[in-house]
Structure 1
Amino acid sequence: MNKRYSTIIIDDEAPARLGLQNLLKEFPETFNIIGTAQNATEAQQKIETLNPDIIFLDIEMPSCSGFELLERLTIIPMVIFCTAYDQYSLEAFETNSIDYLIKPVKLERIEKTVQKLKTFHVKNTSDEILKVLKDISNRKEPKKMTSITVKKNDKIIFIKLEEISFFEADSNYTTIHSEQGTFLSTETIASLENKLPDNFFRIHRGIIINKNYIKEAQKYFNSRYIITLNDLKHTNITSGRSYSESIKINLGFF
């Protein structure tokens, strides 16, 4: 008889938590979801109180990463990482107590995790897991975020970064302009700037553009630029004065 694992989902993005929760509900004989958490503090409290068999853990979270959370724990459950950053998806995760899922998570990938769980015999010790995590966190490969999730009505939508032309600040939220249309993200523009790959850069206090969508850039007065994007609307964006040096570096103006 297969074991049913008590499970906690940890991710700072609500759409990602909900999306994974819905996927795991397709395997009720394997996963018993006993809680979710949106940050490391909440996660630590729930792990120590509920003592789950498995945690699905986002690596990159504000203030405290998934790795740092595990270092705080006295007893570490089995860990399945969920990440949009490819540099962590390496052979170091191939132990009997660790698995990884690359966002956006697909149902067929969860099926592989379920099959892997059936082969588990002995849980690795906390020290062994932390050794693996230390090896991974010491790797110097560049970040590579590949997608972003948003919630629209009752749906979770995954948007590939390569389809996004620019991000625009909207109060404490961010509007995503993409080939699929416009969407509202609960992340701030500052938070996104720290996660995005190098082809995205800030040209205004409230705007981050995808360099791959730039059609042309013209110098404007007061150290500003007018940048035309090769999107469906051929959007024109006027840069902020304080971003002129960044634009010169990214676009090759000298």
Structure 2
Amino acid sequence: MNTRIYTTLIIDDEAPATTGLKNLLNQFPGTFQVIGVAKNGIEAQKKIEKLNPEIIFLDIEMPGCSGFELLEKLSSIPIVVFCTAYDQYALEAFETNSIDYLVKPVKLERIEKTVQKLKSFHKNKNSDEILTVLKQITSKKEEKKMTSITVKKDSKLIFIKLNDVSFFEADNNYTFINTDLGNYLSTESISNLELKLPNNFIRIHRSIIINKDHILDIQKYFNSRYIFNLNNKKKSSITSGRSFNEKIKTWINY
């Protein structure tokens, strides 16, 4: 049985989630030694290369660089425990170097199961095998063919064509759908929608996903941000978030 202590790095763009997970892991000092946290993929890559953690608790969806994209950049991949709010990647996560998959909000009893799995875990996959699986996952993700979104209004179901959507805007755990024909409220979170939307949509802010086909022009803004002017009826102007700067620059090939 494996009873060693693992050096551990937490990677998550949400500070409350990072703090909560760190507090949980600190309750297992005989298994985890938290040696650092990272709030995005770029910072995580630097800390992994410097600190060489044995285990990473990794959020899948992060601005600028997803958890999968981060793993593709690493020369050597640590043991991975995926930690995210969505369960659709669970199967793929188990096919990689992951020993476990935690769904937020993470509970103490769930961490206890992770500890038990670690005791009998043997790392036997090399980085090439893991990257091959990640490429397969990425290909599957790109195959999504979503063309409309369904919302409930009173006793009716309304089908909204994605081509008519200029942008999505988060409202707590719900999302406003903005179209020239009207605005609608979806019960899906904006992060969940981001996973499903086709490639002509891009998230430019923690709260905003825009339709690239509705962009009139893009202007530079201070603090490495951009202003997106849309061609919808409202002539909306939306300012991007700083943490999405690299993702936006890559898209516009700036």
Offset, 1:203: 4.7
Residue 113, structure 1, aligned to residue 114, structure 2: yes
Q: Per the alignment, do residues 122 and 69 of structure 1 end up closer, same or farther by CA in structure 2, a change over 3 Å counting? A: closer
Q: How does 1:167-178 map to 2 (within 5 A)?
A: none
What residue is the counterpart of 1:9 in the other structure? 10
Stretches of structure 1 lacking an aligned partner (at least 5 in a row): 143-188, 213-239, 244-254
Instruction: State the identity as a percent.
Output: 62
User: 1:229 maps to what in 2?
Assistant: none
- In structure 2, the gaps of 5 or more residues are 145-166, 189-231, 236-254
Name the SS of the counterpart of 2:140 in structure 1: coil
Distance 1:19 1:93 in 2: 24
Q: Deviations over 1:80-115 (max 9, x none)?
A: 111112211126515664321111111111111111
2 CA distance for matches of 1:90 and 1:69? 19
Let me know the Cα RMSD of the aligned residues: 3.2
Cα deviation, 1:180-209, whole Å, max 9, x if unaligned, reads: xxxxxxxxx97848x97xx732359xx984
Report the count of equivalent residues: 165
Alpha carbons of structure 1 residues 211 and 84: separation in structure 2 relative to 1, 3 Å: closer
**Partner residue in 1 for 2:55:** 54
* CA distance, structure 2, for counterparts of residue 115 and residue 36 of structure 1: 23
Matches of 2:43 and 2:53, distance apart in 1: 14
Deviation of residue 11 (structure 1)?
0.3
Shift of 1:139: 3.2
8 Å Cα contact 2:93-2:100 kept in structure 1: no
Whole-angstrom distance in 2 between the partners of 1:123 and 1:201: 45
1:242 corresponds, among 234, 238, 242, to 234
CA distance in 2, matches of 1:241, 1:95: 46
Which residue is equivalent to 1:202? 177
- Change in 2 beyond 3 A, CA 1:89/1:122: closer
Q: After superposition, give the CA deviation of every residue in 1:110-142 in whole Å (9 maximum; x if it has no partner).
A: 111111101112342111222232333333497
Residue aligning to 2:151: none
